[in-house]
Homo-oligomer: A and B are copies of this chain.
Amino acid sequence: MQLYGGIEAGGTKFICAVAAEPTAEPIETLVIPTTMPQETIQQTVAFFKRHNVRGLGVASFGPIDLHPKSPTYGYITATPKPGWRNTDLLGPLKAALNVPIGFDTDVNGAALAEWRYGGGQGTSSVVYFTVGTGIGGGVVIDGQMVHGLMHPEMGHIPVRRHPDDTYAGHCPYHADCLEGMACGPAMQARWGKPASELPADHVAWEYEAHYLAQAVSTCLYALSPERVILGGGVMHQAQLFPLIRQKTVNAINGYLQEDALTQHSDSLIIPPGLGDRAGATGALELARLAAG
């Protein structure tokens, strides 16, 4: 059987999976804690050495270098994660495993998976946000992941404070950017308990929707995607979706006169069609594309 390998390379764990198709149930999955680079990458290599995959996909936390001609192509670059700054992730995998490897950001991978197999099917463009320990955003237009100077880093767009919000912000670079105000740790720091323990009618969700609606609005103005997909741990709180939709429509205030926004925002601003499997499916889809 032809198999694909996928790595969701996250700041907390590397999830390695082997599957017959991107959307198939993996034959085997291994979760490796993200410790120091050499140890984590060695364990990853050992796993895939046991499997005969025809392609590997790496959907990584960032920022990463995606320029094939760059001397640091395949590196994790300016991450604040201790020990991982300027780490060659792709090189050791290529050296150890003689297979084609696709490489992109975790959120570009998830956007790709949602575009092809999930909530973005049949559209021309998808923005995928993950809202969890951090906030990231990926973009796929006409089936292509958006790269350029680097790659989208949606988590760090400037946002306007909620008028009652006195929390300083969690981002070490910008304090009160989108991620700084709306990631899971920001919620925990602001309210004194994890987001998952806050009741659905807590004012925290009104604040959270305030920030995420700005992210959605900004995307609609800057990119005009046909779907905005919001995933990640914080978005398990289903009460957020109607709040975000309403605040987005209110903020745009009739300027973008598309029924898809004004009448059907519940089909425009949606949870991942693949649920929590968007990331894993993205990594496997990168493998499938690399294998050709």
Interface residues of A (CB under 8 A from B): 63, 77-78, 123-125, 137, 139, 141-142, 144, 146-160, 173-174, 214, 217-226, 251-258, 260-261, 268
**Residue in chain B with minimal CB distance to A77:** B257
9 interchain residue pairs of minimum CB distance: A78-B257, A148-B224, A173-B255, A125-B148, A222-B222, A149-B224, A157-B221, A150-B224, A173-B253
Which secondary structure dominates chain A's binding surface?
Answer: loop
The residue that A154 contacts in the complex, of B139, B153, B156, B222, with Cβ under 8 A, is B222
6 extra interchain contacts, Cβ-Cβ under 8 A, other than A142-B144, A147-B224? A78-B255, A78-B257, A149-B226, A150-B256, A152-B223, A158-B214
Given A158-B251, A222-B222 in contact, is the A78-B256 Cβ separation under 8 Å?
Answer: yes
Given A148-B141, A217-B158, A218-B222 in contact, is the A153-B256 Cβ separation under 8 Å?
Answer: yes
The residue that A146 contacts in the complex, of B63, B141, B174, B251, with Cβ under 8 A, is B141
**Residue in chain B with minimal CB distance to A66:** B224
Contacts of A154 in B (CB 8 A): 221-222
The residue that A218 contacts in the complex, of B125, B174, B218, with Cβ under 8 A, is B218
Cβ-defined contact, A174 with B144, below 8 A: no
Cβ-defined contact, B214 with A149, below 8 A: no
A152 to B148 Cα, complex, angstroms: 17
Q: How many copies does the complex hold?
A: 2
Given A63-B257, A78-B254, A78-B255 in contact, is the A148-B226 Cβ separation under 8 Å?
Answer: yes
Cβ-defined contact, A221 with B253, below 8 A: no
Given A157-B218, A158-B251, A218-B218 in contact, is the A146-B257 Cβ separation under 8 Å?
Answer: no
Cβ-defined contact, A222 with B78, below 8 A: no
The residue that A223 contacts in the complex, of B148, B174, B214, with Cβ under 8 A, is B148
Contacts of A147 in B (CB 8 A): 124, 224
Cβ-defined contact, A156 with B78, below 8 A: no
The residue that A124 contacts in the complex, of B123, B148, B157, B225, with Cβ under 8 A, is B148
Q: How far is the CB of A192 from chain B (nearest CB, A)?
A: 27
Contacts of A253 in B (CB 8 A): 173-174
